[in-house]
Structure 1
Amino acid sequence: MTTVPTASLPVEWRDFFALTKPRVMSLVVFTGLCGLLAAPGTIHPVIGFTAVLCIALGAGGSGALNQWWEADIDAGMKRTARRPLPAGRMAHSNARDFGIALSVASVLMMGLVVNWLSGAVLALSIFYYAVIYTIWLKPRTPQNIVIGGAAGAFPPLIGWIAVTGHITLMPVLLFAIIFVWTPPHFWALAMFVKTDYAKVGIPMLPVVAGEQATRRQIFVYSVVLFAVSLLPWVLGGTGAVYGVSALVLSGVFLALAAPVAFRASFEGDAMKPEKRLFGYSVIYLFALFAVLVIDAALRNLGALA
């Protein structure tokens, strides 16, 4: 086990910001905002802003708790060794207290200002990521990303509930899209950083089951994602703008997953197909949810005309 250095450098605001995993948070905030904007009904702009802020704070808090718990693991991985805790720029207790403070504040603010159902689902998402995924699933099973993918799928559901105050089929479908998207997205990354995971004993699928099995699973989930992404349109929750866009975007996703799945060797190409799929998977989710909002806006304009 890698020893995490004790804090010896002055803590800066950038270190606290890094604890929130800003890259991950940007996707979380965006999908939460899209769920809010696509939901039927209206919400006061201040309350809507508060809801999105709470989603961001909750995501940041759970990210900080994740890094607090995994500091020794992060220290052993090249990709994460420069984070505040393994680099010795922050005391463990500071990261823990910061994560708890953000998490509690986000849930209380969401409940008091928006509604308590959205606050309860936000609390569940924080608990799911910080405890169920980080502490329980990640170090124990290669299915950690499959089951743990629910943690990142909550934001559009929370945003929808912030507007409507209840859960219907449509936000559940948005949850399902991100849930199914997570395995091929993360396994594509895990393919070219698997050495790091093996070194610290994390049983990611490429480490435990091997490359061939992981490639097959990436393709299977990409096929499922293709189908699930179309369900909001097929079931009448969106219009043709979303439907056609989802068809194209998911078709490209599937086309990029195919060379990852059906080749015999990764040698000699610096994992280019895997990196292309990983890069596109981020663009895919941003684009799909952006189109969802555009489709909802166009349908609302059509209803007013």
Structure 2
Amino acid sequence: MPPISSIPSPALSTKACDLELLKLRIGGMIALTAVVSYLSMAERVNIAHLFWLTLAMVLGSASSAVFNHWYDRDIDRMMERTANRPLAKRGLNNSSHVLWLAAGLLLSGVSIAVWFFNPIVAIHLFLGAFFYGVVYTVWLKRRTWMNIVLGGLAGSFAVMAGAASVNPGLCALPMLLALVLFFWTPSHFWSLAIHLKEDYQKAGVPMLPVVVGEQKAARYIFLNTILLVSASLLPWYFGQLGMIYLAGALLSGGLFLMENWRLLRTPTREMGWRNFLGSMRYLGVLFLAIVADVTF
């Protein structure tokens, strides 16, 4: 890891250790993914279980987020979007506090998963944090454009954790939904990478648009989204979900492919951002379709 520049760096203060370190928006998305997976499997909803599942997933996500802030503080300083992150802005020479915080958050999440559910939930929670914190941040992010493809498995493990909180055995539906999340992640993050290409280029991070350019990256996104929409039909094809889900998958998939086509024709920063937002709308509609299908 490149050395941190010698900026005056007091011990980690409560101001530096603020909520921004936890990346709660990402944690909320991870928790929502697990909750939707829980709802797709549960015959009866237990509100207490939903609470503890949400808390465990947020803690697990927060642990990897804190580690990501710590490990990436050098390149975060180089990018406009991340230059004001707490650790990038203040710097830390003695950073053991941050690593202990990350470890404590992960241990808390895993403990809740074991205590209120079962070890399988804890394993999936741990693997999700490991893939984001170590596989993506440490091993892949600075080395290859495939970084987000494998690192994005964190979302798939959230699906498996939510399902395992109901049934720890391997079941077809969560595995199919985990596949959908696997294909969703590249379309989501590569779109953001087109919008932030100059930032990643400045920091030397080989995100796909930096390596192959915006036009070719848009082509990869479009092809990946075709795989995504195809994968989203598998839960209906194999009889795991019904017609309400199929309608939602077709509607959201069709709209997202239209956004992808616009990006392919005009691969600009603005269109990258628009496709990034479109990916979140797509996932939101798909989640609503899952919940509506299993409810009605």
Match for residue 277 of structure 2?
279
Do the aligned partners of residues 53 and 107 (structure 1) sit closer, same or farther apart at CA in structure 2, a change above 3 Å counting?
same
Query: Normalization by structure 1: what TM-score?
Result: 0.90
Deviations 1:148-174 (A, max 9, x none): 111222212111110112221110111
Q: What is the CA distance between 1:10 and its match in structure 2?
A: 7.8
2:110–2:125 Cα contact (<8 Å) kept? yes
Which of 249, 268, 290 pairs up with 2:288?
290
1:99 paired to 2:102:
yes
SS of residue paired to 2:165: helix
Asked if 1:215 is matched to 2:213, the reply is no
Deviation string 1:175-233 (CA, Å, 9 cap, x unpaired) is: 11111011111111111211111111111111112222211101001111111111111
After superposing the two structures, state which structure 1 stretch, 84-93 or 9-18, moved more: 9-18
1:272 is displaced (CA, Å) by 2.8
Change (3 A) 1:139 1:4: farther
- State the partner residue of 2:58: 56
Q: Which residue of 2 is the match for residue 168 of structure 1?
A: 171
Q: Is the 8 A contact 1:150 1:179 kept in 2?
A: yes
- Describe the shift of the 1:219–1:127 C-alpha distance in structure 2 as closer, same or farther (beyond 3 A): same
Is the 8 Å Cα contact of residues 4 and 85 (structure 1) preserved in structure 2? no
Summarize deviations over 1:66-95 as a string: whole Å, max 9, x none: 111111111111101111101117763332
Please tell me whether the aligned partners of residues 52 and 159 of structure 1 are also in contact (alpha carbons under 8 angstroms): no
Query: What per-residue deviation string (whole Å, max 9, x for no partner) do you get for residues 43-74 of structure 1?
Result: 64323321221011000111111111111111
Inter-partner Cα distance in structure 2 for 1:30 and 1:140: 30
Q: 1:303 — aligned with what?
A: none
Contact 2:173 2:240 in 1 (8 A): yes
Q: 2:196 & 2:176 partners in 1: Cα distance? A: 31
Aligned to 1:65: 67
State the match for 1:196 in structure 2. Answer: 199
Aligned twin of 1:302: none
Matched, 1:16 2:14: no
Unaligned stretches of 5+ in structure 2?
none
Bigger Cα displacement from structure 2, 38-47 vs 66-75: 38-47
Gaps of 5+ in 1: 299-305
Number of equivalent positions = 293
Deviates more, 1:192-201 or 1:84-93: 84-93
Change (3 A) 1:94 1:9: closer
Task: Report the counterpart of residue 301 of structure 1 in structure 2.
Answer: none
Q: Distance in 2 between matches of 1:31 and 1:62?
A: 17
Deviation of 1:274 after TM superposition, in Å, equals 1.7
* Cα distance in structure 2, aligned partners of 1:139 and 1:108: 32
TM-score after normalising by structure 2: 0.92
Name the SS for the 1:87 alignment partner: helix
The structural deviation recorded for 1:240 is: 0.8
